[in-house]
Structure 1
Amino acid sequence: MNNFDFTKAADVETAISLTKENKGNKIIAGGTNIIDLLKYFITEADTLVDINSLSGINDLTEMPEDGIRLGALMTNADTAYHPTIEQKYPLLSKAILAGASAQIRNMATNGGNLLQRTRCYYFYDIHTPCNKREPGSGCSAINGYNRIHAILGHDESCIAVFPSDMCVALAALDAVVNVSGPEGERKISFTEFHRLPGDHPEIDNTLKMGEIITGIDLPEKGFTENYSYLKLRDRASYSFALVSVATGLDLQDNRIKEARIALGGVAHKPWRVKEAEDFLVGKEANKENFSDAAEMILKGAIGFEHNSFKIDLAKKAIVRNCMMALDPSTQRPGAKPSL
């Protein structure tokens, strides 16, 4: 770990001013990811700017135009267990609790969750080429051990995946990210917040220099009646998803009025295919239709030597999770979905 200075920002404006002109100044809140990045020499910091003292962005706020705003400094644990989230957005609560460990959720913030970096083995090994860590050096994962890597949205520059569970649910809920920066405040739709590798695999999101996440808006619709989050992983505790699925359904007489399906563990960002969601509208909520939608969502998927199994796994996970969403009580420990 390199030497760095440490300072506390008293307000958002100060935090912005400290980061807008020097990319070596890094924001720290919970520190559950950036400390690892510093320890493993993946990133360096001239100054760590502590934003934990910032007021007004550390709680849940009911919005006058319906919906809620999650403060960027709320912890993942406080968010998951907040009565409003449990009651109105159970899909989000379930997704958060599927991630990390209790200790990390107690420290990690909502804003930090959106900004966490990939857990690709080669990204964390500074002795191997990695375009995300060192642009232009190559992608070791393409011809390496790529079991956990992307099957959608990748290209020859990078096949890493985005690791968040929370963000998969936020994508399905059509969340909006609020940011403040040198040019003022702006809103970013969740589908536009994270980006695919393209020409700049080292850039994970669409934040501009000096911008800080201040909150996350959730619309009124939380799919409280029919929802499910499914996380498939190598072990049951503290493991990142091979494939995860967040599903929200709006049903009337077993016909689908609206469907939201987001995948995690398969791409550089939470993955949604609107064509597949639109296909389900008006159709009966059954295994056959969910299977057809899964085929549409995985269209164009390409695997590598060690992860091609994820294509079929993702299709089956979508069907299983949609069926589970028909009866959320099937998500109790030990319960079996009606397949």
Structure 2
Amino acid sequence: MEINGSDLQRFNSTANAIKAEVSKHIIGQKTIVEQVLICIFSGGNVLLEGMPGLGKTQLVKTLGSVMGLDFSRIQFTPDLMPADVVGTNVIQRDAQGSSQFRFEKGPVFSNIVLADEINRATPKTQSSLLEAMQEQTVTVGNTTYHLPQPYFVLATQNPIEMEGTYPLPEAQMDRFLFKLNVAFPSLEELHDIVNLTTSGMQQKYTPVTSGEEILKMREVARQVPIAKPVMEYALKMVMGTHPENSSSPKATGAYVRYGASPRGAQAIINAARIKALMEGRYNVSFEDIKYVAFPALRHRIFLNFEGMAEGISTDTVIGEIIEHLGD
């Protein structure tokens, strides 16, 4: 199957319609909205990090309504149990008095799942999402249940409040396609946010697409070609995150303890295909790779003691890698 002009036009028009409708309810954050859409269209999950009150929950609710998808929210707390997330078997009695087990689905059975403050739950509860995020299934006892499609997990965490939290393990971090940093709005954006949220008007959402259409868009994205030099550029970028690699830049050797896994390369390629389609192009460019490199790799690079002591960010390391590779 080859991508044609009508597929490209439909993909581009649908993406623009979603962004236009979302912008009526979400002030600013245009880059965040675009990158979340890239994840949804590529079938990935997103980790949002930002201060409370920046509209992360509102963004997910808006996306669910605009795309005609079911939405559920899980507030993670230290006493939350895995069964509260995925569901559990309950005993049900029939009219004859006999008993049998029936599976009661948890909130994870939805198209869009908001895992709010995911780092507040214990590792046992955090791990209950691993299978759902990677395999898009839930196993309870000896039975495996398939989650509704399309399926997408958006998790949030507060970057400044570390008391009573459990940092996400590397294996779970790797299952997020993107990690996005939500910035505080500008003065003009803050003015518009206050006007929108304090007017007392009931917000009405207009669905512009459907789950079936999103699944078709994912199929179209898989057909976007990538030239060999562009593919090698993305792979060299991932290799550049490993300090043991002789061709890595100095910043990697000095500040990085562990580099990105092969999932990082997969994330870059899949996301770059979506970015190309959203720009109205048939093929992936070097600029697409650079654009998605930061959100795709920033949570897959782990700094050593020197890097943390000097306040180096993973974005700084990624920037050094891009500069090292050149154009």
TM-score (norm 1): 0.25
Structure of greater Rg: 2
Looking at secondary structure, tell me which structure has more helix per residue.
2
The structure showing larger relative contact order (alpha-carbon pairs under 8 Å, at least 6 residues apart) is: 2
